[in-house]
Amino acid sequence: MKKNNLKKKDFYSKLSKKLGYSQPYSKKLIDDLLEIINFNIKKDNFLLKNIGSFKLLTKKERTGRNPKTMTTHIIKSRKTVSFKISKNLLKIINY
């Protein structure tokens, strides 16, 4: 089964066709939007009204195991982002 992921290049291409902007302007628009989202997620949780919320999670250090060789190793602590879709967008998707 082939995945149909939307790449950033496809995203700004579709945006330029839909709104009539030039490709470089659309690319700048998408890059600026992603930069704003990244900046706000790093500061605190970030809410996009009627789309969803991003939450920065910190995972603790833990022990991992290779199931094939049964060797253990330490998985370092790290930060990850969680996204929760809004109820409004979920209604739109499901109907």
More confident residue, 3 or 61: 61
pLDDT tens for each residue of 42-61: 888 889 899 999 999 999 99
Strand segments (E) across the chain? 46-48, 52-59, 62-65, 72-75, 78-85
pLDDT tens for each residue of 21-45: 899 999 999 999 889 989 998 888 8
Average pLDDT over residues 5-19: 88
The pLDDT score that the predictor gives to residue 61 is 96
Nearest to 31 by CA among 9, 3, 14: 9
Residue 82 neighbours by CB distance under 10 Å: 10
